[in-house]
Amino acid sequence: MEAFLSSLVSIAFHGVAYGMILYVISVGLSVTMGLMGFVNLAHGVFAMAGGYILTAGLSRFGLSFPVALTLAFFLVAAGSVVLERLLYSRLYGVDELEQVLFTIGLIFIAVAVAQIIFGTLQQPVVLPDYVKGQFPLLGRDFPAYRVFLIAFSTVMIAALWFGVERTRWGAMVRAAVDNRAMAQSIGINTRRLFTLTFALGSGLAGLGGALGAEIIAIQPTYPFEHLVYFLIVVSIGGLGSLRGPFLAALLIGITDTACKYWVPHFGAFFIYVATIGLLLWRPAGLFGRRV
């Protein structure tokens, strides 16, 4: 019984840490899909880029951990603005198929570029000493880095929610998600709004990829392998919503960790089957608008 309880606590803890990372990576996807209806399968590329910036920054350039994290956010955000202005913006409002093909193409390019620069091996994460070791809490020891992950992500998410719910920019984003034509006609520059939101979402993905580099291994096939998970978070959570994907990410993080712990033989099987079941029950996701 004692052992069972202890495993339960451990699963909840690791599951929450994993779920937080999934959320930080995927939330941008939910907002951009909700805002422009753009099917961006290449979102994982931004997360991978953030991971590479962090690992390379720490091991090759000897940057400090906070600097590398900040760089991961800002470099990815800046890069995504360039991509958005040059390429994505040409495909707003065209066929879904073309968006899918275009973003799959981006994935192929990113995988190849990552292989050419960093090789096919998994990148080692050299964490600084102050986030290593164990963190005692309520008579148990938790890995300090995961505690840091959860705390940091919580602050980030709180800031994000405050921004979307309480600021003028957030109100404009929500208005544009609700009804883009109406938002445009009352004078909101939705294109600029979208570029900004896209940059923020991609930057967050980069940050999530960097933070989670220890949990989700950074390797060239990253955008392919984890695409399904990011999409599951968004489609179960519901497009254009902030809370939905949060709950979905936590749910998936905990379920996935529990499955890997108790029934490793089934792998991700349960997650996929549960996703199919959930989407059949509520095609627009748990918190999505019915279209």
Partner 1 sequence: MMQAVGYGADPRIRWTEWLPWLAAVAVFFLLPEYLSLGARILVFILFALSLDLVLGYAGVITLGHSAFFGLGAYVAGILAAKFGITDPLLLLAAAALAAGVLGIATGAVILRTHGLTQLMLTLAIAAVCLEIANKATPITGGADGLSGIKIDPIFGAFRFDMFGRTAYVYCLITLFCGWWLVRRIIYSPFGATLTGIRENEVRMHAIGVPVYRRLVIAYTVSAMIAGVAGALLTQTNQFVGLNVLGFEPSGELLVMLVLGGAGRLYGAFVGPLVYMIAQDQLAKQFPEYWYLGIGLILVLVVMFARGGILGITDGLIARFRRPA
Binding stretches for partner 1 (CB under 8 A): 33, 39, 87, 90-91, 96-98, 100-102, 104-113, 115-116, 224, 227-228, 231-232, 234-235, 239, 265-269, 272-273, 275-276, 279-280, 283-285, 291
Quote the least distance from Cβ 80 to partner 1, whole Å: 16
Q: Residue 107 or residue 156: which is nearer to partner 1 going by CB?
A: 107
Q: Residue 115 or residue 255: which is nearer to partner 1 going by CB?
A: 115
Tokens of 209: 């990829």
Tokens of 170: 């957030």
Q: Residue 172 or residue 239: which is nearer to partner 1 going by CB?
A: 239
Quote the least distance from Cβ 270 to partner 1, whole Å: 9
Quote the least distance from Cβ 113 to partner 1, whole Å: 7
Contact partners, residue 42, CB within 8 Å, separation at least 6 = 103, 104, 106, 107, 110, 223
Specify whether the CB–CB gap between 231 and 135 falls below 8 A.
no
Quote the least distance from Cβ 72 to partner 1, whole Å: 23
Q: Residue 186 or residue 280: which is nearer to partner 1 going by CB?
A: 280
50 residue type, one letter? G
Q: Which residue has the tokens 């091996």?
A: 121
CA-CA distance, 276 to 279, in Å (whole number)? 5
Q: Residue 109 or residue 158: which is nearer to partner 1 going by CB?
A: 109
CA-CA distance, 95 to 6, in Å (whole number)? 51
Which stretches of the chain are DSSP H helices? 2-36, 43-59, 65-86, 96-118, 144-166, 168-178, 180-185, 190-211, 222-225, 227-237, 243-262, 269-281
Quote the least distance from Cβ 96 to partner 1, whole Å: 6
